[in-house]
C-alpha cells in the first residue's frame, strides 16, 4: 500500500474533502437541526457495526455511519430548546472558521510557530480584559475549558504566594488553603484536589452568594495559608453572582490572590444593563470565561486572563533542552501561561466571529437573552401551579411545578426528549426537586419556553 495515500493530494483526498465540506455546509445552514438523543451502547454497536478495520470503510461509508448513526446519537447542544446545564450557541462565522483552523495546520503554543494566530487571540484577550476593567497589559491564554482555566490560575496563585512569603522571610505553611463558596463550581474543588491543597468551603448566604464577611472570617482564621479566594460570577445552577465588590475590598486588608470563576456568567458584563452586577471584578488577579458558553464560540474554549501575565508565565513556563529556543526568547508564547504545552489556537473562531460581526452584535445578543430570562421568569411567577425558586440574576431560571416529585420531573423530561421537542432535565435545590431553563441561545424564543411550560400537566 502506498504510504503517502492518506496525505498526498489525489482524487481520493479531493472526494473526502468535498464530502466533508458538503456535510458541514448542510449542517451549518440547516434551518431545523434535530435535537437528537443518545442510544444504548448495544444499540450503537448493532447499528454501526465494526468501523475500524485493516482495509477501512472508505469515505462514503464512514461518513454515512457518522451522519446517520453516530451524529443522531449526540444531543445538539446548540439547539434553541436545549436548555439544560449551560448550552452552547456558536455563531455561523465561528463554526465555519473552526474548519479553517483545522485545515490550516496551525500550532498555537508559541509565537515562533504561530505568531499570526497568537496575535489574533491576544487581541480578543485584550478586549475581554478591558471589559473586565483589568489594566493595560493584562493577558493570558485560551485553554480547553473552565476546569483547566481554574486549575492554571490557581497554580499561578500558589506560586505567587510562595514567592511572596519567601521574599518576606516567612515560613511556608504546612498545608495551603483555597477559600471558595460551598456553592462554587466543582472544578475549583477538583483543582484543589489535583494541587493537594485544602479547600475552605465557606457557606453561602441565604441569597446563594458568597459574602465578604464570611470570606473575611476565613482569611482571619487561616492567615498566610490562604493562597487564593475564588469568587463566582454566575453559578451553574442558579446564575448567582457572588459579592465580588465586597470580597475584592478585602484586598485592602489581606494579601491574597482573587480569582474570578466566570466560566458561564462573566459574559454578562458585555450587556450594559448587567454591568453593575460585576463591580469588583476589575480588582481580581485572574479571571476565566468560557466563550463556548455565552460568547458564541464552538467547543472547547476558555479564556484565562491574568491581571499581570508575568505571574502566569513564572508559574507555568516549561523548561527542557528542546524548548530553549522558545524559553530564552521574550516572545509571547501562550503555552507559558497554563498547564498545557501543546495547544491548538482555539481562540481563533471567536476572533473571526468578533471581527466579522463586531462587538455591538455580541452586546445585543447577550442583552436579548437577559431580557428573555426576565420575561419568562415573570410568566412563571404569575402562572398558577408554578413557583419561581429565585429571581434570576443572569440567564438561568429555576422553578418548581407545584406538587411534583423527582419522578414527575424525570418522566416529563424524558417525554420532551423522546418527542424531540426540548432538552430540560430535572435539578434540585435544598433537597427539593425542580427544573431550570439555562438561556444563552439568541434563537430561543418566549414561545418556545411557554410551550415547554404548557407540557407540565
| Residues 144 and 196 grouped into a single domain | yes
| Residues 367 and 327 grouped into a single domain | no
Residue 110: inside a domain: yes
Residue 21: inside a domain: no
Q: Do the beta carbons of residue 179 and residue 231 sit within 8 Å?
A: no
Final residue before a domain boundary, out of 305, 329, 357: 357
Residue 59: inside a domain: yes
| Residues 324 and 364 grouped into a single domain | no
Q: Rounded CA gap, 75 and 78, in Å?
A: 9
| Residues 146 and 224 grouped into a single domain | yes
Checking if the pLDDT of 346 tops 80, the result is yes
Tally of structural domains, the chain: 3
pLDDT tens per residue across span 193-203? 999 999 999 99
Q: What are the distances in angstroms from CA 194 to CA 130, 197, 198?
A: 31, 8, 10
Percent of the chain clearing pLDDT 70 (strictly above)? 99
| Residues 384 and 271 grouped into a single domain | no
* Averaged pLDDT of the chain: 97
In degrees to the nearest 10, what's the CA dihedral of 202, 206, 208, 214?
-30
| Residues 218 and 321 grouped into a single domain | yes
pLDDT tens per residue across span 381-414? 999 999 999 999 999 999 999 999 999 999 999 9
| Residues 284 and 145 grouped into a single domain | yes
Residue 143: inside a domain: yes
Peptide bond into 300 cis (omega under 30): yes
Q: pLDDT band at residue 143, thresholds of 50, 70 and 90? A: very high
Q: Do the beta carbons of residue 227 and residue 176 sit within 8 Å?
A: yes
| Residues 317 and 263 grouped into a single domain | yes
Residue 68: inside a domain: yes
pLDDT tens per residue across span 23-53? 999 999 999 999 999 999 999 999 999 999 9
| Residues 150 and 183 grouped into a single domain | yes
| Residues 258 and 167 grouped into a single domain | yes
Residue 93: inside a domain: no
Checking if the pLDDT of 438 tops 70, the result is yes
pLDDT (0 to 100) of residue 327:
77
Average pLDDT score over residue span 442-447: 98
Final residue before a domain boundary, out of 335, 357, 379: 357
Would you tell me the crossing angle of helices 348-357 and 111-132 to the nearest 10 degrees?
60
The CATH number covering residue 392 comes to 3.90.1150.10
Residue 237: inside a domain: yes
Residue 92: inside a domain: no
| Residues 365 and 274 grouped into a single domain | no
pLDDT tens per residue across span 316-341? 999 876 676 777 788 999 999 999 99
pLDDT (0 to 100) of residue 321:
67
The CATH number covering residue 348 comes to 3.40.640.10
| Parent domain of 67 | 30-72
pLDDT (0 to 100) of residue 29:
97
Q: Do the beta carbons of residue 246 and residue 280 sit within 8 Å?
A: yes
pTM of the model: 0.97
| Residues 298 and 414 grouped into a single domain | no
Amino acid at each position: 500500500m502506498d504510504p503517502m495515500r492518506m496525505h498526498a493530494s489525489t482524487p481520493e483526498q479531493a472526494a473526502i474533502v468535498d464530502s466533508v465540506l458538503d456535510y458541514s455546509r448542510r449542517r451549518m445552514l440547516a434551518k431545523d437541526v434535530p435535537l437528537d438523543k443518545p442510544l444504548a451502547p448495544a444499540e450503537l454497536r448493532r447499528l454501526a457495526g465494526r468501523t475500524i478495520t485493516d482495509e477501512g470503510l472508505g469515505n462514503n461509508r464512514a461518513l454515512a455511519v457518522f451522519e446517520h448513526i453516530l451524529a443522531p446519537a449526540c444531543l445538539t447542544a446548540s439547539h434553541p430548546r436545549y436548555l439544560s446545564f449551560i448550552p452552547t450557541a456558536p455563531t455561523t462565522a465561528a463554526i465555519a472558521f473552526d474548519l479553517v483552523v483545522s485545515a490550516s495546520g496551525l500550532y498555537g503554543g508559541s509565537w515562533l510557530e504561530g505568531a499570526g494566530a497568537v496575535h489574533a487571540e491576544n487581541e480578543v484577550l485584550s478586549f475581554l480584559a478591558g471589559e473586565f476593567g483589568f489594566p493595560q497589559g493584562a493577558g493570558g491564554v485560551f485553554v480547553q475549558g473552565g476546569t483547566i482555566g481554574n486549575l492554571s490560575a490557581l497554580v499561578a496563585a500558589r506560586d505567587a504566594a510562595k514567592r511572596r512569603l519567601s521574599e518576606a522571610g516567612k515560613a511556608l505553611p504546612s498545608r495551603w488553603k483555597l477559600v471558595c463558596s460551598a456553592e462554587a463550581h466543582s472544578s475549583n474543588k477538583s483543582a484543589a484536589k489535583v494541587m493537594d491543597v485544602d479547600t475552605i468551603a465557606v457557606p453561602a448566604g441565604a441569597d446563594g452568594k458568597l459574602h465578604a464577611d464570611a470570606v473575611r472570617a476565613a482569611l482571619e482564621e487561616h492567615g498566610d495559608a490562604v493562597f487564593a479566594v475564588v469568587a463566582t460570577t454566575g453559578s451553574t445552577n442558579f446564575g448567582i453572582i457572588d459579592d465580588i465588590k465586597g470580597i475584592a475590598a478585602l484586598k485592602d486588608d489581606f494579601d491574597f490572590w482573587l480569582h474570578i470563576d466566570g466560566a458561564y456568567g462573566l459574559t454578562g458584563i458585555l450587556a450594559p444593563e448587567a454591568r453593575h452586577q460585576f463591580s469588583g471584578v476589575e480588582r481580581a488577579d485572574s479571571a476565566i470565561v468560557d466563550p463556548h458558553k455565552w460568547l458564541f464560540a464552538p467547543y472547547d474554549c476558555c479564556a484565562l486572563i491574568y491581571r499581570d501575565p508575568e505571574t502566569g508565565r513564572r508559574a507555568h513556563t516549561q523548561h527542557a533542552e528542546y524548548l530553549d529556543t522558545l524559553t530564552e526568547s521574550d516572545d509571547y508564547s501562550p503555552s507559558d501561561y497554563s498547564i498545557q504545552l501543546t495547544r491548538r489556537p482555539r481562540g481563533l473562531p471567536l476572533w473571526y466571529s468578533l471581527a466579522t460581526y463586531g462587538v455591538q452584535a455580541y452586546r445585543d445578543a447577550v442583552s436579548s437573552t437577559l431580557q428573555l430570562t426576565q420575561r419568562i421568569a415573570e410568566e412563571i411567577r404569575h402562572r398558577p401551579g408554578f413557583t419561581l425558586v429565585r429571581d434570576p440574576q443572569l440567564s438561568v431560571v429555576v422553578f418548581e411545578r407545584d406538587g411534583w416529585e423527582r419522578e414527575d420531573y424525570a418522566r416529563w423530561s424524558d417525554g420532551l426528549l423522546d418527542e424531540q421537542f426540548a432538552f430540560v432535565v430535572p435539578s434540585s435545590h435544598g433537597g427539593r426537586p425542580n427544573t431550570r431553563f439555562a438561556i444563552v441561545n439568541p434563537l430561543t424564543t418566549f414561545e418556545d419556553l411557554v410551550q415547554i411550560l404548557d407540557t407540565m400537566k
